[in-house]
Amino acid sequence: MPELPEVEVTRRGVAPHIEGRVVEQVVCRRDGLRWPFPPGLSALLAGRRILSTGRRGKYLLIHFEHGTLIIHLGMSGHLRVLPPGIEPRKHDHFDLVVNGPDGVQVLRLHDPRRFGAVLWHANEDGDLEEHILLRGLGVEPLGEQFDGALLHRATRRRSAPIKQVLLAGDIVVGVGNIYACESLFRAGISPKTAASRISRARYDRLAEVIREILAAAIVQGGSTLRDFIAVNGQSGYFQQTYFVYDRAGVPCRQCEAPVRQIKQGQRSTFYCAQCQR
């Protein structure tokens, strides 16, 4: 599943092609994906100018004067910017056609598994942060509010393993499975440790490496996930620097002990028992 870095890479890729452009039409080739497409979406957006793009966790936001288009890539989705006239392929379910100084361009959503989403939040419906999909999200890991003090304060009554707490997304958002495994390794924290037992000093280090890892992954175009393709058609290469993720049985890059794999909450966790205490 595309995680925060992949979504941010997507946002940065599409932004120059759609920001400031006027929507010409919206094309929906089915009734919806994970949820139905908003009714009358083409009428809502045709002739309207895109003000800016944003991201909240793993949600891509396209801001208009009268509301925000919320796009989620699901498990297998990706966006491409294409010239007009290219025939849609199977699983090309949604087009946002925009017009600007450089002519018409098509933002196309491809989603084979159809776990993605395209939703509309009108300004009259209230604060965007109160949208049902966004209101329970934690702070952004690359934002000013995120630090070790926040993690320490929010986990004093959390007996769940720290890996599960990171994935929950209600304290800090967007630290998915890959980047949680890598962050815990580089912070030297076992993924099985109860969140409430981790000290403030260790949380300071964990917050620091989460920032570093996510920022590095964005610069490197994200990770090459099975279904993720960036807007330019290329895959990321952050996976070349993995220390533990998807390396079960391979010698640890630091101590040469074999990397272990366990299941936590139906997700695979990779860690080094020697380096992570």
Residue 169: CB partners within 8 Å, gap ≥ 6? 57, 136, 137, 138, 175
Residue 229: CB partners within 8 Å, gap ≥ 6? 78, 80, 235
**pLDDT value, residue 241:** 77
* pTM of this structure: 0.89
Q: Residue 237 — pLDDT band, cuts 50, 70, 90? A: very low
Catalytic residue chosen out of the listed positions 21, 55, 56, 58: 58
Binding-site residues sit at 91, 113, 158
The pair phi, psi for residue 11, each rounded to 5°, is -60, -45
The answer to whether 153 is a known catalytic residue is no
**pLDDT value, residue 223:** 56
Average pLDDT over residues 179-200: 97
Beta-carbon count within 10 A of 40 CB: 10
Is the pLDDT confidence value at 251 over 70?
yes
Q: Burial code of 106-122, b = ≥16 C-beta within 10 A, e = fewer?
A: bbbbbbbebebbbbbbe
**pLDDT value, residue 20:** 97
The answer to whether 192 is a known catalytic residue is no
Catalytic residue chosen out of the listed positions 2, 38, 141, 161: 2
- What is the average pLDDT score of the chain? 92
Predicted confidence (pLDDT) per residue in 135-180, tens digit: 999 999 999 999 999 999 999 999 999 999 999 999 999 999 999 9
Alpha carbon 236 to its chain centroid, in Å, reads: 14
Most confident of 53-62, 210-219, 239-248: 53-62
Are the beta carbons of 48 and 97 closer than 8 angstroms? Answer: no
Predicted confidence (pLDDT) per residue in 40-99, tens digit: 999 999 999 999 999 999 999 999 999 999 999 998 899 999 999 999 999 999 999 999
Q: Residue 224 — pLDDT band, cuts 50, 70, 90? A: very low
Catalytic residue chosen out of the listed positions 49, 114, 253, 267: 267
**pLDDT value, residue 198:** 98
Catalytic residue chosen out of the listed positions 3, 6, 24, 182: 3
Q: Burial code of 55-69, b = ≥16 C-beta within 10 A, e = fewer?
A: bbbbbbbbbbeebbb
Q: Which residue has the higher pLDDT, 100 or 171?
A: 171
The answer to whether 30 is a known catalytic residue is no
The answer to whether 58 is a known catalytic residue is yes
Binding-site residues for DNA sit at 91, 113, 158
The pair phi, psi for residue 35, each rounded to 5°, is -130, 160
The pair phi, psi for residue 123, each rounded to 5°, is -55, -35
Of the chain, the percentage scoring pLDDT greater than 90 comes to 84
Alpha carbon 72 to its chain centroid, in Å, reads: 8
**How many residues does this entry show for the chain?**
277
| Domains of the chain from N-terminus onward | 4-130 (3.20.190.10), 148-272 (1.10.8.50)
Rounded to whole angstroms, the Cα distance separating 144 from 245 reads 27
**pLDDT value, residue 227:** 47
* Among candidate residues 166, 180, 159, the one with its CA nearest the CA of residue 271: 180
Mean pLDDT lowest for which of 8-17, 147-156, 230-239? 230-239
Q: Residue 226 — pLDDT band, cuts 50, 70, 90? A: very low
**pLDDT value, residue 3:** 84
Residue 134 is encoded by which pair of tokens? Answer: 């966004």
**pLDDT value, residue 76:** 85
Rounded to whole angstroms, the Cα distance separating 165 from 191 reads 10
